[in-house]
Amino acid sequence: MTTTKFHPEVYTQALTSKSVSYASPSNIALIKYWGKHGVQIPKNPSISFTLDTCKTTTKLSYIKREEINDEYELKVILDGKHKPGFEPKIHQFFGRIESYLPFVKDYAFTIETSNSFPHSSGIASSASGLSALALCLMEMEREMQPEMTFKHFNQKASFIARLGSGSGCRSLEGPLVVWGEHAEIKGSSDMYGVQYPYEVHPVFDNYQDAILLVDKGEKPVSSTVGHNLMHNHAYAASRFEQAVVNLSSLISILETGDLDAFVRLVESEALTLHAMMLTSNPYFILMKPNTLQIIDEIWEYRRETGIPVCFTLDAGANVHVLFPDKDKEQVHEFIKNDLSKYCQDNRYIFDSVGSGAIKL
């Protein structure tokens, strides 16, 4: 797909506002993407649940620069404190998007942001943070180009978010978003995320996700490094093919509401993701002993109760516990009474599937 459609038309209106704010959620992939090429292009398609409670709120303030040079002018404030350490990543992001949003050179920006969850804890803070920032920037462009359609706004915002965080392109809409071309999913694209277009069984309505914070610290290996290790990975080709097949299988699972098949597929995908890490060169482990303890407890609980609760993992130690809304009360008690002891400081977050980002 060509990216020409995302180069801007002539701006017809001047900016009159001075700031814009968005809240954008994180997401949890059911079919994992691990490995990319080019500029943030996935090696395999993925699909994720958009979350509701775990989100980033960003206010973007801007003022016209008096003197414009080759440097971007920006300041990042996280939870009320200036964080210059985050600014190089935003400079890199602006460098990638300047040809699509050329006005980023024309303004001095203050980015005030906060997360409802711990940064770099295995919850996709880069996804929610960069999607929120992308939406703020797109809101600026929409003010300068008011004839922009809703469809174009969403596609371009997802495209822009992807250039900062691959999984960020899946955070703008919900409840299920696909990123990456797949022959059986209409409209799917490597360039941006699309809402899942097919029928979904009511059992997945308001599906629950409890995030168990096993380790809230910085990951020893970043996702960027992990993705790069797939380039010469011995099992990369078979993994990419497996993800395509699994996404095909998930289409019928989502339609029929086959929760037993859903559990098997989602857990297998999570373990495969970490198997790729274990077999990389160099190899690495992001799971912790308590991650494995939680998995064992979930398996035992499922055998004893018949409740279709399952786990999934992102690139970190934390565990996402997925289960139907009708089982919420029982599973919440299970987490409080049995699983919380494996969490750092007994911390966990009860969340559910959400509908995407909102303008504030």
pLDDT at residue number 123? 62
| Percent of the chain with pLDDT strictly greater than 70 | 97
pLDDT at residue number 129? 94
Q: Is the pLDDT of residue 215 over 70?
A: yes
Cα separations in angstroms, 355 against 23, 25, 35, 208, 250: 12, 9, 27, 13, 20
Using a 10 angstrom Cβ sphere, with 0-12 exposed, 13-18 middle and 19 or more buried, the burial of residue 237 is exposed
Across 122-128, average pLDDT: 74
Across 313-342, average pLDDT: 97
At residue 97, what is the residue type?
A: I
pLDDT at residue number 119? 59
pLDDT in tens, 245-284: 999 999 999 999 999 999 999 999 999 999 999 999 999 9
DSSP string, 98-118: TTTSGGGGTEEEEEEEEESS-
Across 128-155, average pLDDT: 96
pLDDT in tens, 298-325: 999 999 999 999 999 999 999 999 999 9
Alpha-carbon distance 229 to 280, whole Å? 6
Predicted confidence band of residue 224 (pLDDT cuts 50, 70, 90)? confident
Predicted confidence band of residue 17 (pLDDT cuts 50, 70, 90)? confident
pLDDT at residue number 144? 95
Closest residue by Cα to residue 327 from 194, 179, 207, 201: 207
Torsion sign over Cα 256, 333, 292, 315: positive
Euclidean distance between the first and final Cα of the chain, in Å?
32
Alpha-carbon distance 124 to 120, whole Å? 7
Q: Are 297 and 257 in contact (CB under 8 A)?
A: no
